[in-house]
Amino acid sequence: MTGDKSDGSAFEGLKGLSAAASSFTVGLKYDDISAEALRIGRRCILDGLAVSLAGSEQPLIDVLDRHITRIGGAADARVIGDAGRRVPVHLAALWNGSAGHAMDWDDTQLAEGPGRPYGLLMHPTMPPLAAALAVSDLIAVETGRPVSGKDFMVAFQAGFEVGCKVAEAIDPDHYMLGFHTSGTIGTFAAAATAAKLLGLNVSQTAQALGIAASMASGIRAGFGTMTKPLHVGRAAENGVTAAMLVREGFTGSEEGFDGRWGYLAVAGRGGDPERINDRFGRPLTIESPGVSIKPYPSGVLTHPSMDAMRFLMEENALTPDDIEEVTLFAGWNVLAPIRYEIAKNELEGKFSFAFLLSAIILAGRAGKTEFTDAFVGSDACQTMQRRVSARFDQNIEDMGWDRIRSRVVVKTRDGRTIERWADENYRGSPHNPLSDAEVEGKFRDCALGILDEAATAKLIEAVWKVETLSDATVLYDLLSWKPSGAAVS
C-alpha cells in the first residue's frame, strides 16, 4: 500500500533542507524534467546498468550471494545478472548497488559550490538506480501492475537530484575528513527514489530521509577493499529500508537534515543548506553543472593523468620497453585519495597511480580486461609499477581545486625527457563528454563474456527508449545471463 498523497498536517509550516528535499521529491513530474535532463538520464542509466553488469561477476558479489542466500526471506525483487533469482527488496538493492560500484566505474557528480574539490562529491547514479530497480520489482509483485518506464525515470531523477543537492549543501569537510559521500549522501538519493515509487507523501518522505540520516555511513578507510563498493550497496539498501519502514508506519524525524542535531551539523560540521533549499530542480544537477561518465574504472581524479599518459605514448610512438621512469606531478586534491604506492590486486589498483599509468603503458588502455587481479599481479605490471611515482607539486596546488590538474614526465631509456599536461577538460566530463557511441562501447566492454551481441543490442535499445517501456523491470531480463523470458514492450 502506498502513502497518502497529502502533505499531512504535521508537516505544515516546516522549513529547511528536509522540507525542500521532500517537497521536491513528491512534487516532481515527468513534464518538469527538461529534454536535456532526460537525455542525460538515459545515458546515466545505460552507464549504470553497464557497470552493474560488469560488477555482477566481481568476487565481492560471490560473497554477497552467499550472505544473502544464508539470510533468505521474501521473494520481492530480482538482482542484476540473474533474473531468475528473487530476494528481499532491501537485499536486491544491496546487491545492485554493490555491483554498480564494484569496479569504481560509475559516474561522478560535478561540484559547483565554493571550496568543493572538482569532481569529488558523489557517484550519483547507482544509489537511486539500484533502489529504483529493486522497488519497481517489488511493486509489480505486490500489485500485479508494472512500473512504467516513465515513472521509473521520474523516481530516478528525483533521487539523483536529492543526493546531488544534499552533497552540495553539506560542508566539504564531510568528504575531506573521511566520509565517503557515495555511501553517506547516496543513502538519501536511494531513500528519495524509493519514497517516490512507493507514493509516500511529503511528511512520510521527510521521515524516510530522517530515518536514512541515522543509517547513512561509509568511511574512506575502506578504499581499496570490498568495503568501498559495499558503501554504495548499503546506501541503496538503507534508503530502501527507510522508505519501506515509513510505509509500514515507522516514524522518524521530519527534520533529519536540519538544526543542531541534523545530519549536516553532525556529519559535516554544518553546511550551506540555504543556498540549496530553493534550488531543487532549478536546474536539475544532472543537467547543470552535470555529471562525468567515466572512461576508466577508477576515481575520476585519476582520469586526466591516465589520458595524458595515453596521449604521450601515442604522440611519441613509445612502447613499454622505451620507458625508464614516469613521474606524475599533482596537487593534494588528486593525490590524497590515492592510497597505494604499488598495487597488489585490482581493488588496490584503483587507488594506485603506479598501476593506473602502468596499465596505459602496457596495454594502451585500462578497462575490464586490465582491472583484474591477474593483470595487476603480472610480472610485467609489477615491474612497470616500480618505474612510476607520484609527487606533490606546490605550483599545481596553488592553481586551485576547481579543475583536475596534473602533468606527466617520462624519461626514456634513450635519454629523452617528455612532458605532457593533463587536459583540464578531461574525457567524460560535461566539458568533453563521451559520445553516445562511446557510452554504448563502454556497455559492450562491460558486457564482454556475459551477454552476447544480440542481447547487448536489445538492452541498449531498451534504455534509449526507457520512458516508453510499459514495464521498466524488463531491464532485469535483458541484463541477465539467466533470462526469465520477459519481452520488451
% of residues, the chain, pLDDT over 90: 83
Could you tell me the three cell numbers for 149?
518506464
pLDDT digits (tens, 9 = 90+) for 168-198: 999 888 988 899 999 999 999 999 999 999 9
| Statement: residue 477 has pLDDT above 90 | yes
Domains of the chain: residue spans and CATH: 9-292 (1.10.4100.10), 300-421 (3.30.1330.120)
- Dist CA 187 CA 343 (whole Å): 30
- pLDDT-based confidence at 114, cuts 50/70/90? low
419: left (phi over 0), alpha (psi -120 to 50) or beta: beta
What is the C-alpha R_g of the chain? 22
Please tell me what DSSP assigns to residue 344: S
Q: What percent of the chain has pLDDT over 70?
A: 94
Position 4 pLDDT exceeds 80: no
Who's near 437: CB < 8 A, 6+ residues apart? none
Vertex 208, ends 236 and 235: CA angle to 5°? 15
How does 36-54 read in b/e, with b if 16+ C-beta sit within 10 Å? ebbebbbbbbbbbbbbbbb
**Distance (Å, rounded) from C-alpha 445 to C-alpha 54?**
8
* H or E stretch covering 84: strand 82-87
Report the pLDDT value the prediction gives residue 10, as an integer from 0 to 100.
46
Work out the number of other CB atoms within 10 angstroms of the CB of residue 465: 11
Judged against a pLDDT cut of 70, whether residue 135 lies above it is answered with yes
With residue 326 as reference, give the H or E element that holds it: strand 323-330
Rounded mean pLDDT of 52-63?
95
H or E, element range at 2? none
CA distance 86 to 145: 18
173: cell is 569537510
State the Cα–Cα distance between residues 17 and 92, nearest whole angstrom.
29
CA distances from 122 to 55, 79, 117, 145, 187 (A): 18, 23, 11, 33, 11
pLDDT at residue 21 greater than cutoff 50: yes
Q: Which helix (H) or strand (E) holds 435?
A: none
Pairing of strands 388-392, 323-330: parallel
Tens-place pLDDT, residues 302-339: 999 999 999 999 999 999 999 999 999 999 989 988 88
CA distances from 113 to 81, 120, 165, 236 (A): 38, 11, 10, 26
| Residue 56 identity (one-letter amino acid) | S
Spatial contact of 473 and 78, defined as CB atoms under 8 Å apart: yes
Please report which confidence band the pLDDT of residue 402 belongs to, taking 50, 70 and 90 as the band edges: confident
pLDDT in tens, 115-129: 666 556 799 999 999
What gap in Å lies between CA 236 and CA 184, rounded to an integer?
A: 10
**Dist. CA 25–CA 160, nearest whole Å:** 10
| Alpha-carbon distances, residue 3 vs 16, 52, 63, 197 (angstroms) | 22, 30, 35, 10
The answer, yes or no, to whether residue 486 has pLDDT greater than 80, is: no
**Rounded CA gap, 257 and 252, in Å?**
12
The DSSP letter of residue 421 is: E
